[in-house]
């Protein structure tokens, strides 16, 4: 075999390996992006679950009026979700003037949170 033929074979092998490595890189990048999206969604759901646990503990199972510190903790948990729709529903709930409106806003808040999960 001549040296020119060996060079051609090496070039073809290098080109083929470049295609294989590039394909693997593309596949891994696609997988990484999908995993990143799933991780972000899971983190979002964990924030909702944390809020629901806190809300259940401090409001639904609580006795008497909710303390200022507990209200602040709940408010921060709602803000931490970084969802303007949930925050607006939360404000509607906290600003409710009568029991009927409070119950309607509570149902709306809990329904929205559950759908987010």
Alpha-carbon distance of 88 to 68, in angstroms, equals 20
pLDDT (average), residues 66-79: 93
Q: How confident is the model at residue 1 (pLDDT cuts 50, 70, 90)?
A: low
Q: What would the 3-class secondary structure string for 44-99 be?
A: HHHHHHHHHHHHHHHHHCCCCCCCHHHHHHHHHHHHHCCCHHHHHHHHHHHCCCCH
pTM: 0.75
Tell me how far apart the alpha carbons of residues 18 and 92 are, in angstroms, rounded to a whole number: 59
**89 pLDDT band (50/70/90 cuts)?**
very high
């Amino acid at each position: 075999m001549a040296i020119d033929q060996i060079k051609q074979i090496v070039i073809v092998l290098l080109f083929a390996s470049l295609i294989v490595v590039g394909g693997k890189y593309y596949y891994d990048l696609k997988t990484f992006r999908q995993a990143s999206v799933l991780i972000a969604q899971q983190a979002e759901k964990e924030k909702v679950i944390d809020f629901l646990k806190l809300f259940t503990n401090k409001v639904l199972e609580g006795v008497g009026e909710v303390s200022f510190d507990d209200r602040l903790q709940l408010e921060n948990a709602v803000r931490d979700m970084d969802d303007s729709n949930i925050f607006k529903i939360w404000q509607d709930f906290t600003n409710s003037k009568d029991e009927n409106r409070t119950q309607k806003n509570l149902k709306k808040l809990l329904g929205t949170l559950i759908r987010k999960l």
